[in-house]
């Protein structure tokens, strides 16, 4: 459970990465159909690089699909 842009829900990610020369490089994306509640229309992807640190900074770009039943 978590919050993205003030909206609560859950989602799963697909994670792919490599470990080379002591560094992890990873990309990930939100799995379509895994989102729940307020995050049900979430799309996103991200990446990170990490060495031996226990803390990792990552980039996460996201958007929410428009509900076609709601007028703008």
Handedness of CA 41, 30, 34, 5 (dihedral sign): negative
Q: How far apart are CA 15 and CA 33, in angstroms?
A: 16
pLDDT band at 53 (very low <50, low <70, confident <90, very high): confident
13 and 2 Cβ atoms separated by less than 8 Å: no
The predicted pLDDT at position 52 comes to 85
On the question of pLDDT at 68 being above 70, the answer is no
The predicted pLDDT at position 16 comes to 97
On the question of pLDDT at 70 being above 80, the answer is no
The predicted pLDDT at position 24 comes to 92
On the question of pLDDT at 39 being above 80, the answer is yes
Q: How far apart are CA 30 and CA 13, in angstroms?
A: 4
The predicted pLDDT at position 71 comes to 56
């Amino acid at each position: 459970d978590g919050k993205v842009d003030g909206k609560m829900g859950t989602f799963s990610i697909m994670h792919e990465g490599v470990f080379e020369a002591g560094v992890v490089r990873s990309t990930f994306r939100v799995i379509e159909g895994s989102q729940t509640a307020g995050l049900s229309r979430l799309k996103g992807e991200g990446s990170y690089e990490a060495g031996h640190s226990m803390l990792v900074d990552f980039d996460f770009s996201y958007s929410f699909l428009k509900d076609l039943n709601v007028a703008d």
